[in-house]
Amino acid sequence: MATEKGSISIHTENIFPIIKKFLYSDNEIFLRELVSNAVDAVQKIKRLSALGQYNGELGEPLVEVSLDAAAKTITISDNGLGMTAEEIKKYINQVAFSGASEFVEKFKDAKDANEIIGKFGLGFYSAFMVADLVEIQTLSYQEGATPAKWTCDGSTEFEIADGNRTTRGTSIILHVNTESEEFLSEQKLQEILDKYAKFLPVPIQFGTKTNQQEDGKDEEGKTKYKSVEVANIINTTNPIWTKAPADLSDEDYLDFYKQLYPFSEDPLFWIHLNVDYPFNLTGVLYFPKVKEDFDMQRNKIKLFSRQVFITDEVKDIVPEFLMLLHGVIDSPDIPLNVSRSFLQADSNVKKINSYITKKVADKLAELYNKDRKAYEEKWSNIGLFVKYGMISEEKFYDKAKDFALLTNTKGENFTFEEYKEKVAPIQTDKNGNVVYLYTTDLDKQDGFIQAAEKRDYDVLVMNTPIDAHFVSSLEQKLEKTQLKRVDASVANQLIEKDEALESVLSEEQSTNVKTIFEKAVGKPNFSVEVVALNPDDAPVTITMDEFMRRMKDMAKMGGGMSFYGNMPDSYKVAINGNHKLVSKILASTNEEEQNKFAKQAIDLALLSQGMLTGAELTAFVSRSVELI
């Protein structure tokens, strides 16, 4: 079959089908657009009145959304400034139809409705996503104005005639089309209004006509119902982010948090954002208690533009490490109609990003300086943010290095500086590097921790998912400092010193011991060495080299180290030549007994590190019974 090629020619009259087709997935935004227009109209008349350009009665500002399911209409009505017939022609007809050719030219690249709606000033026309007939009834505030009516069925034909509105303002009446009847539900509209209109600056009243009210009986004695309108104001016009921090109490902030996230635990603290130069940004960001499943807590920040909800996708506006924060940000200076990559490159967005980072760092510094004890209590929750921020943002690191805490096995907290001072005298190796010891598992590494602490070494706890990265980044950032997991080698080799312990074994005895234990281990990836430790250190210690283990850990986390990930685990088995057990084994003349003792000592080491399982564990248990 021959391939046919050609271009689709699109004329202006196709604009409405295109709007419907391409915006279908997001069609609920028609309500956001029309309600925003109504709010704008109300704010404009207020401004005109304040400027003395309108001297009539202002009335209570109000936007009404009403649903008449029986008539299949949704009406958005306001007591704003209204429009004259001339203004309808200018603002409604011309804008849309001149934008239309550009629109059809570019619609194919648009990724979502927001992009199209904003770029082409088609806010009003989003009405045609859900309606096949749209009617405007309006009366301008201007003296001597007459009511005007505009109707359009979604073609390029429209009609302007005398209207029926008797009070100042505008009503947009949508005759909902058959594909969009889902919007003729009270619950559905309520949902959309809750999402987009909850914090709009003008009261929004939502009303439904229902036939539920009883109205006496008819001749046959059946209950009659009458049609009544039930209406409620659905929004808060002055949400806290629009107020001055000085006018707000802690309770106000906590109440607002509850309003945003019902059933959530109280946040730890919050920051109030408020700048108007060089960009305009307001908002409140909350620090939640971090939960195990912190993925659930992500993407909770809501982005508004002049109190109109836009999205909870704030990925490129808020620094990645703060994505666990909750709350709202409101900025008219964030371009909404652009692609993600453009957003990242936008200079306002960059400035907003670093402003938020700075505010967060300042707040943490303030909490730290004000009440160290209270700050330490919060550390287990905020540590994750701080560590993540320090790893990912240089600027944040520079500030956070003064209030980030290191916690040791005794639950004591230290700043970086304090810690260095504490451990340097004892934990500096022969090359002048200070060695920080850490554990990733208090239970499994208990034997090693105790051995290190016996030498007066301090051990840090690094047991959260972010810590593996944090350890590497600390090592890069801190000068002449090394980090070593406490089980990286036997205790007296963790920190290399000049003074070595004398071995009680002769060279021949040492070789002998090595052979006995090599036989007992019987695994190629376990290499045996005999070392001189304290007599009261463990007789056998099994370790994995720090470098090797880190590479493997990173490979496990998908850090592109698959080469290491594929290598078999290799361990060092250190035999303490100065331990009584070793002398005892050497003293024995029975080879079988020597092997049994050696095996037992190795298994005990494996057991203490949680590495003894399966058949080996069973063999160990029966051997132990026998030895008793």
Residues 393-412 that bind Mg ion (CB under 5 A): none
Please tell me whether residue 95 binds ligand ADP under the rule CB under 6 A. yes
Q: Specify the residue, 41 or 466, whose C-beta has the smaller distance to ligand ADP.
A: 41
- Residue 294 CA to residue 290 CA, distance in Å, equals 6
DSSP string, 538-596: -SEEEE--HHHHHHHHHHHTTSS-HHHHHSPP-EEEEEETTSHHHHHHHH---HHHHHH
- Quote the least distance from Cβ 438 to ligand ADP, whole Å: 56
Residue 332 DSSP symbol: T
Beta bridge partner(s), residue 485 = 438
Residue 94 DSSP symbol: I
Q: Choose the contact partner of 113 out of ligand ADP, Mg ion, none; CB within 5 to 8 A by kind.
A: none
- Quote the least distance from Cβ 136 to ligand ADP, whole Å: 8
Which of the stretches 66-74, 79-87, 366-374, 483-491 binds ligand ADP when contact is defined by CB under 6 A? 79-87
Please tell me whether residue 597 binds ligand ADP under the rule CB under 6 A. no
Applying CB under 5 A, the site for Mg ion has a residue count of 2
- Quote the least distance from Cβ 354 to ligand ADP, whole Å: 30
Peptide bond into 245 cis (omega under 30): no
Residues 76-135 that bind Mg ion (CB under 5 A): 123
Tally of helices (H runs) and strands (E runs) in the chain: 21, 21
Looking up tokens 């026309």 gives 125
Which of the stretches 91-99, 322-330, 332-340, 495-503 binds ligand ADP when contact is defined by CB under 6 A? 91-99
Please tell me whether residue 170 binds ligand ADP under the rule CB under 6 A. yes
Q: Which residues contact 79 (CB under 8 A, 6 or more apart)?
A: 42, 45, 59, 60, 61, 62, 167, 168, 169
- Quote the least distance from Cβ 200 to ligand ADP, whole Å: 13
Q: Specify the residue, 95 or 248, whose C-beta has the smaller distance to ligand ADP.
A: 95
Which of the stretches 6-14, 122-130, 323-331, 409-417 binds ligand ADP when contact is defined by CB under 6 A? 122-130
Across 194-280, the runs of DSSP E, i.e. the strands, are 204-217, 223-233, 269-275
Tokens found for residue 133 = 């007939």
Please tell me whether residue 338 binds ligand ADP under the rule CB under 6 A. no
Classify each residue of 421-430 as buried b or exposed e, where b means 16 or more C-beta atoms within 10 Å of its C-beta. eebeeebbbe
Please tell me whether residue 606 binds ligand ADP under the rule CB under 6 A. no
Binding mask 31-70 for ligand ADP (x = CB under 6 A): --x---xx--x-----------------------------
Residue 12 DSSP symbol: G
Please tell me whether residue 123 binds ligand ADP under the rule CB under 6 A. yes
Let me know the angle formed at the C-alpha of 315 by 309 and 318, rounded to the nearest 5 degrees.
85
Which of the stretches 35-43, 299-307, 512-520, 589-597 binds Mg ion when contact is defined by CB under 5 A? 35-43
- Residue 581 CA to residue 361 CA, distance in Å, equals 55
- Quote the least distance from Cβ 112 to ligand ADP, whole Å: 17
Please tell me whether residue 23 binds ligand ADP under the rule CB under 6 A. no
Residue of 10, 91, 275, 482 that binds ligand ADP (CB under 6 A): 91
Q: Choose the contact partner of 83 out of ligand ADP, Mg ion, none; CB within 5 to 8 A by kind.
A: ligand ADP
Q: Choose the contact partner of 170 out of Mg ion, ligand ADP, none; CB within 5 to 8 A by kind.
A: ligand ADP
- Quote the least distance from Cβ 111 to Mg ion, whole Å: 20
- Quote the least distance from Cβ 63 to ligand ADP, whole Å: 9
Please tell me whether residue 261 binds ligand ADP under the rule CB under 6 A. no
8 Å CB contact between 486 and 452: yes
Sign (positive or negative) of CA dihedral 452, 453, 459, 465: positive
- Residue 452 CA to residue 446 CA, distance in Å, equals 10
Looking up tokens 């619609």 gives 107
DSSP string, 369-414: HH-HHHHHHHHHHHHHHHHHHHHH-HHHHHHHTTT--EEBTTS-EE
Q: Choose the contact partner of 92 out of Mg ion, ligand ADP, none; CB within 5 to 8 A by kind.
A: ligand ADP
Beta bridge partner(s), residue 231 = 207
Which of the stretches 118-126, 399-407, 477-485, 612-620 binds ligand ADP when contact is defined by CB under 6 A? 118-126
Please tell me whether residue 37 binds Mg ion under the rule CB under 5 A. yes
Applying CB under 6 A, the site for ligand ADP has a residue count of 16
Q: Specify the residue, 37 or 578, whose C-beta has the smaller distance to Mg ion.
A: 37
Please tell me whether residue 611 binds ligand ADP under the rule CB under 6 A. no
Please tell me whether residue 80 binds ligand ADP under the rule CB under 6 A. yes
- Residue 170 CA to residue 529 CA, distance in Å, equals 89
Note the residues at the interface with Mg ion (CB under 5 A). Answer: 37, 123
Which residues are at the interface with ligand ADP (CB under 6 A)? Answer: 33, 37-38, 41, 78, 80-81, 83, 91-92, 95, 121-124, 170
